[in-house]
């Protein structure tokens, strides 16, 4: 069969034998800064928006790394920077040991097969003029996989795999509901047998009853194909359900990262605590007695430069020394960037 399937099998074997795992994706001190100019030519202000500001994390084969944070925290920019869709300002992104940050279009190409993406809006991310067969088949065509007739069979196999009737091959996206379109997006991502899929809010545009279908599908496929996911979402319950490890972002930085259980049951950063306490739980009796940590104000602008902790001005436990130096992400397995964490 395929050599990549073989290497995946070997990886799985290595894991079972308890060998040290090597990360599939390794992000180190990644920064994406957008310079801007504002004002009239006589009164021009120059500045920099620090959308992603020194992010580091690892994703292992077959694992889901969840990224949560509020709008504007830089999670989507981070996803695009990992895939080199937005050139990073500095830092390193290694895929399977090879540095890919800042690679040109051509040099990046072989990695595009390994790293695919699923987008939030299943209405905007499928070309309305292409049939489902053409949409799912296009990545194979680009990478010259299979001849024409084999490609058609492959597309049908993929449609079946994501729970769509393979006979829908010649239909157009508008003939499908939101949940079905998201399945088409998943099939397209799988077409070139990637090892990593970056899912940017893959269920937030779907109806509640449909979200569970897509989440289950993603989890089943992961098990079957040993896929690694970077799962970006603002819904903390969904991220908890699907992730092995979770990172919490605030103003372009990861402020806490841990395995799912430690993060949700024993959050250490005051921002993570506030986020978790703000999620309404579908149990009216519990809700009546629950204490909420109310954060004042809103996420500040990422153009500002913070000498200390960027969360300090909204933080319920901040002290003057929080403003002195930016806290580093510290810890072994449960890492947190706060000098009063606990």
User: Is 280 a binder of other proteins (CB under 8 A)?
Assistant: yes
Please identify, among the stretches 7-15, 52-60, 148-156, 268-276, the one whose residues bind other proteins according to the rule CB under 8 A. 268-276
For residue 6, give both structure tokens: 């073989």
Whole-number minimum distance, CB 29 to other proteins, in Å? 26
Please identify, among the stretches 11-19, 59-67, 214-222, 319-327, the one whose residues bind other proteins according to the rule CB under 8 A. 214-222
User: Is 304 a binder of other proteins (CB under 8 A)?
Assistant: no
Non-local CB neighbours of 30 within 8 Å, separated by 6+ positions: 52, 54, 55, 56, 78, 81, 82, 88, 90, 91, 92, 93, 101
User: Is 260 a binder of other proteins (CB under 8 A)?
Assistant: yes
Whole-number minimum distance, CB 172 to other proteins, in Å? 17
User: Is 210 a binder of other proteins (CB under 8 A)?
Assistant: yes
Sheet with 335-336: strands ordered across: 115-118, 196-200, 228-232, 64-68, 245-250, 253-259, 335-336
Sheet with 45-59: strands ordered across: 45-59, 25-38, 90-95, 98-99
Please identify, among the stretches 42-50, 127-135, 152-160, 292-300, the one whose residues bind other proteins according to the rule CB under 8 A. 292-300
Whole-number minimum distance, CB 117 to other proteins, in Å? 22
Residues in 44-73 at the binding interface with other proteins, rule: CB under 8 A: 70-71
Please identify, among the stretches 16-24, 94-102, 173-181, 190-198, the one whose residues bind other proteins according to the rule CB under 8 A. 173-181
User: Is 38 a binder of other proteins (CB under 8 A)?
Assistant: no
Nearer to other proteins, 148 or 174 (CB): 174
Nearer to other proteins, 29 or 175 (CB): 175
User: Is 273 a binder of other proteins (CB under 8 A)?
Assistant: no
Whole-number minimum distance, CB 81 to other proteins, in Å? 22
Buried b (16+ CB within 10 A) or exposed e, 2-21: eeeeeebeebeeeeeeeeee
> E strands within the chain?
25-38, 45-59, 64-68, 90-95, 98-99, 115-118, 196-200, 228-232, 245-250, 253-259, 335-336
Whole-number minimum distance, CB 238 to other proteins, in Å? 5
Whole-number minimum distance, CB 215 to other proteins, in Å? 6
Helix crossing, 178-190 with 148-161: angle to 10°? 130
CA–CA gap between residue 66 and residue 76 (Å, rounded): 12
Residues in 224-243 at the binding interface with other proteins, rule: CB under 8 A: 234-238, 240-241
Q: What angle do CA 298, 303, 304 make, to 5 degrees?
A: 75
Positions in the binding site for other proteins (CB under 8 A): 70-71, 163, 177, 179-180, 207-213, 215-216, 219, 234-238, 240-241, 260, 264, 274-287, 292, 294-295, 298-299
């Amino acid at each position: 069969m395929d050599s990549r399937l073989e290497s995946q099998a070997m990886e799985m074997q290595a894991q079972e034998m308890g060998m040290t795992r090597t990360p599939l994706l390794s992000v180190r001190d990644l920064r994406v800064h957008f310079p801007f100019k504002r004002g009239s030519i006589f009164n021009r202000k120059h500045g920099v928006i620090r959308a992603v500001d020194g992010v580091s994390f690892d994703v292992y084969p077959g694992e889901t790394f969840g990224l949560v944070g509020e709008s504007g925290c830089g999670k989507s920019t981070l996803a695009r920077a990992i895939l080199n869709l937005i050139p990073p300002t500095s830092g390193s992104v290694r895929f399977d040991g090879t540095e890919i940050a800042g690679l040109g279009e051509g040099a990046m190409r072989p990695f595009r097969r390994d790293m695919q993406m699923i987008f939030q809006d299943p209405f905007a991310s499928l070309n309305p003029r292409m049939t489902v067969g053409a949409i799912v088949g296009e990545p194979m065509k680009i990478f010259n996989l299979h001849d024409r007739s084999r490609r058609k069979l492959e597309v049908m196999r993929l449609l079946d795999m994501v729970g769509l009737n393979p006979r829908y091959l010649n239909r157009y996206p508008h003939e499908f509901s939101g949940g079905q379109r998201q399945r088409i997006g998943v099939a397209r991502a799988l077409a070139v047998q990637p090892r990593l899929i970056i899912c940017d809010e893959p269920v937030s545009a779907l109806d509640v009853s449909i979200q569970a279908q897509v989440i289950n599908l993603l989890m089943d496929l992961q098990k079957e194909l040993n896929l690694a996911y970077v799962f970006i979402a603002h819904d903390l319950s969904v991220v908890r359900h699907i992730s092995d490890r979770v990172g919490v972002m605030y103003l372009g930085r990861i402020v806490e990262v841990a395995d799912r259980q430690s993060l949700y049951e024993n959050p250490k950063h005051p921002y993570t605590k506030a986020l978790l306490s703000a999620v309404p739980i579908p149990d009216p009796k519990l809700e009546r007695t629950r204490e909420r940590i109310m954060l004042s104000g809103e996420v500040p602008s990422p153009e500002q430069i913070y000498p200390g902790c960027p969360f300090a001005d909204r933080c319920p436990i901040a002290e003057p020394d929080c403003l002195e130096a930016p806290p580093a992400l510290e810890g072994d397995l449960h890492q947190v960037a706060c000098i009063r964490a606990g």
